[in-house]
Amino acid sequence: MAQDISEFKILTKEVIEKCNETGDTPYGYLVDFYKNRKQGKVWWTGILGELCFPYFSFDKKTIYNLGVDYPYNLTTEQKKVFDEENPFWRDFFAWRCE
């Protein structure tokens, strides 16, 4: 189910500095958002230390887990945008869309 960003631990400058001092790894924190395409509308992120499908967002406020939310929890417009930008994932999950 799509989640609000407030439900995640956010990796801040203070957390990074503390981890650098202690040598700890900040597992469980949300990674900075990035885009695969400069003009794209889909933002990608992940959770440090978590091995699973990546997370993505359209507004950096609501976050979707690719393995759980696609395509079920997207609007028709969001699915269209996602599919245009990510043909690999569209094809990978084609069986879900039938």
Report d(CA 42, CA 95) in Å as an integer: 22
Q: At residue 55, does pLDDT exceed 80?
A: yes
Percent of all residues in the chain with a pLDDT value above 70, rounded to a whole number: 98
Beta partners for 65? 55
78 part of a folded domain: no
Phi, then psi, of 54 in degrees rounded to 5: -70, 170
**pLDDT band for position 58 (cuts 50, 70, 90):** very high
Question: Which residues does 48 contact at the CB level (< 8 Å), separation at least 6?
Answer: 11, 25, 26, 27, 28, 29, 30, 31
Q: At residue 70, does pLDDT exceed 70?
A: yes
Single pTM value for the model: 0.84
79 part of a folded domain: no
The boundaries of the domain holding residue 53 are 3-69
81 part of a folded domain: no
84 part of a folded domain: no
Q: At residue 79, does pLDDT exceed 70?
A: yes
Count of domains for the chain: 1
Count other C-beta atoms under 10 Å from residue 82's C-beta.
21
Q: Is 12 helix (H, G, I), strand (E, B) or coil?
A: coil
Report d(CA 15, CA 36) in Å as an integer: 26
**pLDDT band for position 95 (cuts 50, 70, 90):** confident
